[in-house]
Structure 1
């Protein structure tokens, strides 16, 4: 029971920070926050993603490229231009690392305004730190696991960030339904996104890229959006636009 509770906690804590901080803030700047609060959410992302920490700066830049070049050869992660899921993941990794280590040729317009706390960017990418997180996960399982099959969950902990990314970047461009005609293959993967906290409403997001609430239809509940509204009410963040659409 402890192991399953830990897995569920890690899954949702990680996807929350990815969708809230890396995606909606770093990539799309749907809201603003002070530099001090930015460092708080940097730190929470580091804790949530652990061994699979994704740089908010590199993620933000790469995701902007995805929207600008969706389902073309210049898309960092398109199933249409990949031989398979692992080929797409490897291509994404190479582009991500080039951006992370400033070895890219990305236009300056895609880098404007992305967060960049150099210390945390450096710390989160150290292999000794990633290894230390992995060891902590493993020791936790050794202490609390009550069956051998529970150890099969460990790889998910090690690679939580990329796993969340590939669910959307691969499956939500191949399976699901569409509310809107867009110039790419983005689909809504789940009619009720209990798994990805709003991220799976990918077709909606590609239609309205600056909209903080990813849900459109009455049943498309974006479980991240109430947190955004609450943080906005507490003046921790400030929503840039009030562009809610009526539910369909």
Structure 2
């Protein structure tokens, strides 16, 4: 029971901060927050993503490139140009690392207002940080795991962020339905996205990339957006008014 609870918390906690902070804030800036709140969110992202921590700087730039070059050879991750999902994951990792360590020159249109906390990212993305999280997860499993199949869940905890990414960036361009016919392969994975907290409405998102709400139809409930509305109501963030054009 404790192992399942642990994995569930990591799955949805890591997914929320990837969607809320890295995707909707860093990449698309559909809301604003104070510098103090931004720093707090950096730390929470590191806590919930653990060994698979992703930098807002690297993720934000790479995701903007995905929207600019969707399903072309310049797309950082596309089933249209990668032979299998593992090849896509490796390519994505390489591009992300090159951007995050500033080993490649990036067009300024992709870097505008991207949040960056160099000192924290240097630690949170380090091998030391990742190994400490791995050791902590192993210790937790050693203390609470009671069956062999629970141990089978351990590798998933190490790779949460890449798994979340591949579900959307691979399967979200192959399986599902579309609300909008577009010049790309983006799909909505689920009529009700219980698994990816709204990220699964990928076709909707590609159509209206500046919208904080990825859901459109009555059954397309975007759980992350509902939390964003609560945070906006509490004054912790400020949603931007967006006029969606059909």
Give TM-score, length-normalised by structure 1: 0.97
Alignment of 1:128-147 (within 5 A): 128-147=128-147
Distance 2:201 2:57 in 1: 23
Distance 2:35 2:238 in 1: 13
Distance 1:185 1:241 in 2: 28
What is the CA deviation profile of residues 166-194 of structure 1, one whole-angstrom value per residue up to 9, with x for unaligned ones? 10000000000000011200000111100
What is the CA deviation profile of residues 176-233 of structure 1, one whole-angstrom value per residue up to 9, with x for unaligned ones? 0000011200000111100000000000000000000100011001001111111111
Alignment of 1:231-242 (within 5 A): 231-242=231-242
Contact 2:61/2:114 (8 A) holds in 1: yes
Contact 2:56/2:115 (8 A) holds in 1: yes
2:68 is aligned to 68
Distance 1:54 1:85 in 2: 19
Contact 1:213/1:244 (8 A) holds in 2: no
1:208 is aligned to 208
1:156 is aligned to 156
Structure 2, unmatched stretches of 5+, are: none
Structure 1, unmatched stretches of 5+, are: none
Which of structure 1's runs of 4+ aligned residues deviate more than 2 A? 242-245
Change (3 A) 1:72 1:244: closer
1:58 is aligned to 58
1:117 is aligned to 117
Any idea what SS the aligned residue of 2:32 has? strand
Deviation at 1:153, TM superposition (A): 0.5
Change (3 A) 1:7 1:169: same
Distance 1:125 1:85 in 2: 23
Q: CA RMSD in A?
A: 1.1
Any idea what SS the aligned residue of 1:91 has? helix
Any idea what SS the aligned residue of 1:128 has? helix
Q: How many residues align?
A: 245
Alignment of 1:60-99 (within 5 A): 60-99=60-99
1:102 is aligned to 102
2:22 is aligned to 22
